[in-house]
Amino acid sequence: MVDIIFILTPILLGYIFGSIAEKNHYKSIQEREKKFMRLPTISLKTPLNPDNITRSRLVVGNVVISVDYFKRVLAGLKNIFGGNVTSYETLVDRARREAILRLKEDAKGASEIINLKLETSSINKSAKGTIGSIEIFAYGTAIYRK
């Protein structure tokens, strides 16, 4: 009985706090995406409009999000049967969108951001007994006009 409580508690806590954090995060992401919607952010190497450019600058956005126990156990069970690890999809999605938003916040006053690139890495990947987290790093070139 004690064993079961030992296993279930972190999973339950992970589910409760993980879902609350995810819900709040998505709310904040959607609000800020609306705010930055009109700032063109593209992966082209050249600006959409080459006129009137005064300067350009490297802008970066970086985020680390931790996996919760519930998601990890769910993904661990998926290892046995295979298939999409849906529990990690929201995690990666949140991290990617948050990183791009931070990059946009970094590019204050820019008229567009070009050459957007994303890098990803996982922290604690090999450490046994630790719970993993995902890092997404977004970088691009901000273009400023008169």
Residues that bind another protein (CB under 8 A): 3, 6-7, 15, 26, 30, 33-34, 37-38, 40, 42, 48, 70-71, 73-74, 76-81, 84, 86-87, 89-90, 92-93, 97, 112, 128-129
Q: Are 104 and 61 in contact (CB under 8 A)?
A: yes
Beta strand spans in 22-146 (E): 53-66, 112-123, 133-145
Q: CB 64: neighbour CB atoms within 10 A?
A: 15
- Smallest gap, in angstroms, from Cβ of residue 121 to another protein? 19
Which residue, 21 or 73, has its beta carbon nearer to another protein? 73
- The set of residues, in sequence order, having a beta carbon less than 8 Å from that of 87 and lying 6+ positions away, is 70, 71, 74, 75, 78
Which residue, 59 or 95, has its beta carbon nearer to another protein? 95
- Smallest gap, in angstroms, from Cβ of residue 90 to another protein? 5
